[in-house]
Structure 1
Amino acid sequence: MTEGYVRVLAFGPIAEAIGSRTSKFEWRENLSIEDIVRELELGHWLGQGLAVALNGERCPVDVHCQRGDEVALLPPVSGG
């Protein structure tokens, strides 16, 4: 069985860019968080401080996802 999904949570300007705070991404073998980011056309965020979490734990973007995982895409935080 190779079908399944990864749930993607997006926040702030990232959610605005993809048009939703939550979405489902079709899982495939060797799917990394970086693959998801690039396929959502958010690759430019990789050099701008994008933080990611897998199942609630911060992690690097090269981590591979499993069916049913939850990936959070967190824009950099700024303040004054």
Structure 2
Amino acid sequence: FSCRASKSVYLFTSFHEPANEGLRFLYSYDAYHWKAIDHIFIKPEVGDARIMRDPSIVQGPNGTYYLVWTTGWKNDKGIGYA
């Protein structure tokens, strides 16, 4: 799956319930009106519950993008990263 934009675009990470489906993205050209991309990009395969909640992506100073998320709920305190 690839996405090319002819202009700058905002990208937002998301998940749907049930949280075991995986990483989703929304995009916007103005940061006010958002559209979901109908695709699951990463399936959660770590943690006891194998879920992905509250995904967050950031670009490091070296230009690499990093993704972290909560891998469990309630008593599981795991964190996933990619």
Provide the TM-score with structure 1 as the length reference: 0.25
Whose relative contact order is higher, 1 or 2, with alpha carbons under 8 Å and at least 6 apart?
Answer: 1
Larger Rg: 1 or 2? 2
| Structure with greater strand share of residues | 2
